[in-house]
């Protein structure tokens, strides 16, 4: 077991080395939460973490090994939150997008929630790209009833016929999954919520420009004013994960400077919006 004092509160953050994940780790550390960082890259620079695990979340065996390492080194009664920030853009192969953005998230959610104590919480990261999840709710419900191998087989046959690009579909699925898990955990005292950012000024933003198109990204930014900073997204995540949000459960929190509000209320003129690029990589 780790030498972490049993009174400490420990949060596990994936995608911790840069961008939103790094900002989350920094915020939690300043708040006095002990942080376990998980990323395929090095530990978050300038943040005092109690442990760092290198893990490629596209590898299901690596995810299983991560859980074994956590079990061997830490007392799960100290865990207060799992924050799934790690994700890949639609410029990656469709199989990788599903594996990292959905299946690894679901695996970690289920494995760690079974170890959590009442009062712990899970926060997943969606995207405003997934805002139309209700249009495919039946499809997502069906997919999320499948085990991982069945889901992979289903995706191989249908990744080009679900009506949207793989990245958008994966983020819709994470939003639906988070709501479903809130129901799965009902009565345990463990909450699950999802935060969907708009464009964020991180090292991945150029990749999203490649995926979605400069014209579309710039058009979105004209309605939100600018891209968010990673810390502006992290403060919402922190509130759901360890802040005074104990009766917020199964909630989809959009953090995009008001862009989605404009879509829903009509002050964003979608008729003249540039069409997004459709990205599907084999």
- Mean of per-residue pLDDT scores for the chain: 95
Give the structural domain span for 79: 10-272
Inside any domain, residue 254: yes
- pLDDT at position 203: 86
Could you give the residue numbers annotated as active site? 167
Inside any domain, residue 223: yes
pTM: 0.95
Inside any domain, residue 281: no
Task: Write out pLDDT tens, residues 136-195.
Answer: 999 999 999 999 999 999 999 999 999 999 999 999 999 999 999 999 999 999 999 999
Return the DSSP state at 229: P
**Which residues of the chain register pLDDT less than 50?**
1-7
- pLDDT at position 185: 98
- pLDDT at position 277: 87
- pLDDT at position 278: 78
- CATH code for position 167: 3.40.50.720
What is the domain count for the chain?
1
- pLDDT at position 41: 97
- pLDDT at position 282: 80
C-alpha distance from residue 129 to each of 78, 174, 187, 210 (Å): 34, 11, 31, 15
Strand residue runs (E) in the chain: 10-14, 34-39, 51-54, 79-84, 121-125, 191-197, 252-255
Inside any domain, residue 5: no
∠ CA 229-234-235, nearest 5°, is 105
Q: Residues with Cβ < 8 Å from 83, sequence gap 6 or more? A: 11, 12, 13, 14, 21, 24, 122, 123, 125, 237, 241
Smallest CA-to-CA distance from 188 within 259, 117, 273, 257 is with: 117
Instruction: Judge contact between 122 and 190, C-beta under 8 A.
Output: yes
- Buried b / exposed e over 170-183, threshold 16 CB at 10 Å, is bbbbbbbbbbbbbe
């Amino acid at each position: 077991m780790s030498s972490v004092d049993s009174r400490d509160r420990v949060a596990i953050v994936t995608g911790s080395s840069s961008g939103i994940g790094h900002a989350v780790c920094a915020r939690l550390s300043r708040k006095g939460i002990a942080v376990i960082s998980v990323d395929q890259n090095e530990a978050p620079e300038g943040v005092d973490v109690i442990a760092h695990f290198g893990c490629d979340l596209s590898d299901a065996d690596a995810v299983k090994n991560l859980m074994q390492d956590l079990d061997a080194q830490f007392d799960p009664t100290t865990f207060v939150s799992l924050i799934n920030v790690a994700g890949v853009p639609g410029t990656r192969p469709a199989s990788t997008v599903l594996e990292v953005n959905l299946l690894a998230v679901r695996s970690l959610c289920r494995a760690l929630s079974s170890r959590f104590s009442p009062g712990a919480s899970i926060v997943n990261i969606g995207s405003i790209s997934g805002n139309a999840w209700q249009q495919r709710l039946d499809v997502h419900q069906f997919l999320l009833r499948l085990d991982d191998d069945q889901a992979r087989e289903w995706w191989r046959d249908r990744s080009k016929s679900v009506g949207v690009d793989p990245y958008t579909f994966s983020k819709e699925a994470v939003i639906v999954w988070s709501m479903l898990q809130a129901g799965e955990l009902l009565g345990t005292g463990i909450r699950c919520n999802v935060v969907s950012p708009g464009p964020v000024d991180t090292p991945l933003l150029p990749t999203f420009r490649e995926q979605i198109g400069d014209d579309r990204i710039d058009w979105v930014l004209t309605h939100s004013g600018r891209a968010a900073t990673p810390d502006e997204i992290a403060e919402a995540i922190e509130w759901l994960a360890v802040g005074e949000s104990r009766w917020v459960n199964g909630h989809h929190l959009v953090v995009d400077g008001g862009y989605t509000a404009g879509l829903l209320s009509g002050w964003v003129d979608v008729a003249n919006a540039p069409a997004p690029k459709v990205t599907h990589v084999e």
